[in-house]
Amino acid sequence: MHAKTDSEGTSIDASWPPRSPRRPVYYVQSPSNHDVEKMSYGSSPTASPTHHYYHSSPIHHSRESSTTRFSASLKNPRGLSSWKHVQLGRGNGDEDDDDEMDGRDGSNSDKVRLYLCLVLLFFVMFTMFSLILWGASRSYKPKILVKHMVFENFQYQAGNDESGVPTDMISVNSTVMISYRNPATFYAVHVTSTPWELHYFQLKIASGQMKKFTQSRKSQRKVVTIVQGSQVPLYGVIPALVNSREHLNTFAVPLNLTFVMRSRAYILGRLVKTKFYRRIRCSVILRGNKLGKPHNLTNSCFYQ
């Protein structure tokens, strides 16, 4: 150990540059080999005339070590490449997260498409099934047959119409019986009809309304409807009655009975509905000597 002289202290202080605070180094682009050499040369301590003093001082030794390590890190590209790999590794992790989110979105869209396809398939199959039922129900048409008609009462007399014009008046009271059968094996039918009308050519002399009903499957019934007219003005349009005024038992008046039967079948609730319309026209002769007796209409009706 020897005491430092003033000249040695002055030489050491003059040879070392003044200390400055360290600044962070940001790597934006990988430097080339030429730039690395320039940086290493610029960072290493250059003008140190007394090198043995530099080694003897612990402060100088630590600064030289840190500077040497910094220069070595710049000269060694593997350190920079490893830093790049770390950053790239982090980027790959973000891409993996994005891929995972995209996969989840894709799976959700696939589920939505699957549900839509299932709903569409259900509607198609239900429509086909409904069409099959509707086509099968069309083959089970109701069987309607007009049995007979009975004129219970008949009156022919003089009178006045609503405006007070004198004319002949007629009153008729009759009943009509039909047979209705539902041959269907898997549905019932709801039956209604239009008014039953009795005409002498274009003149309506009586009418009636059938009561609606429901006919169960594979069953039948007889339906009786009242057809009547009261004080219907004739205005001389029925000459057979005018000529037989004195002998009402001998007259014969041709009449037509017309109505439409409407049958509706509801299958699967009201989703499948089948309609059957049957237009019926029967010819009957009103005879004075057959009042209260049935007129057979089995072979006197047309069904459309």
Which among 189, 178, 139, 201 has a CA at the least distance from the CA of 280? 178
What pLDDT is attached to residue 100? 59
The dihedral through the CA atoms of 95, 97, 98, 99 has a sign that is: positive
The pLDDT tens digits for 233-244 are 988 788 878 777
Residue at 112 is within a domain: no
Distance CA 170, CA 154 (A): 7
DSSP notation for the chain: --PPPHHHHHHHHHHSPPP---------SPPPHHHHHHHHHHHS----S-HHHHHH-HHHHHHHHHHHHHHHHHH-HHHHHHHHHHHHHHHHHHHHHHHHHHHHHHHHHHHHHHHHHHHHHHHHHHHHHHHHHHHHHTT---EEEEEEEEEEEEEEEEEE-TT--EEEEEEEEEEEEEEEEE--SS--EEEEEPPEEEEETTEEEEEE-PPPEEE-TTEEEEEEEEEEEEEEE-TT--HHHHHTSS-GGG-EEEEEEEEEEEEEEEETTTTEEEEEEEEEEEEEEEEGGGTTSEEE-TTSEEE-
Domains: count for the chain: 1
Residue at 77 is within a domain: no
Which residue has tokens 């609606």?
Answer: 212
Give me the amino acid identity at 74: L
Count of all residues that appear for the chain in the document? 304
Which residues are registered as beta bridge partners of 149? Answer: 176, 295
Residue at 17 is within a domain: no
Asked whether 291 and 151 are in contact (CB, 8 A), the reply is: yes
Which range of residues forms the domain containing residue 289?
143-303
The pLDDT tens digits for 148-184 are 999 999 888 888 888 888 888 899 999 999 999 999 8
What pLDDT is attached to residue 178? 96
Distance CA 183, CA 91 (A): 78
Residue at 18 is within a domain: no
- Beta carbons within 10 angstroms of residue 64's beta carbon: 16
Which residue has tokens 């299958």?
Answer: 267
Contacts of 144 (CB under 8 A, 6+ apart): 178, 179, 180, 181, 261, 278, 280, 303
What pLDDT is attached to residue 89? 47
Asked whether 70 and 41 are in contact (CB, 8 A), the reply is: no
Write phi, then psi, for 104 (nearest 5 degrees).
-65, -45
Each of the 304 residues of the chain gets a pLDDT tens digit; together they read: 444 444 444 444 444 445 545 555 555 555 555 554 445 444 444 444 444 444 444 444 444 454 444 454 444 545 444 444 444 444 455 555 555 565 666 678 888 888 899 898 888 888 888 788 777 777 889 999 999 999 999 888 888 888 888 888 899 999 999 999 999 888 899 999 999 999 998 999 999 999 999 999 999 999 999 999 999 998 878 887 877 777 777 888 999 999 999 999 888 777 788 899 999 999 999 988 888 999 999 999 999 9
Distance CA 111, CA 74 (A): 54
Distance CA 90, CA 54 (A): 43
pTM above 0.85, yes or no: no
Which tokens go with 61?
A: 């030794």
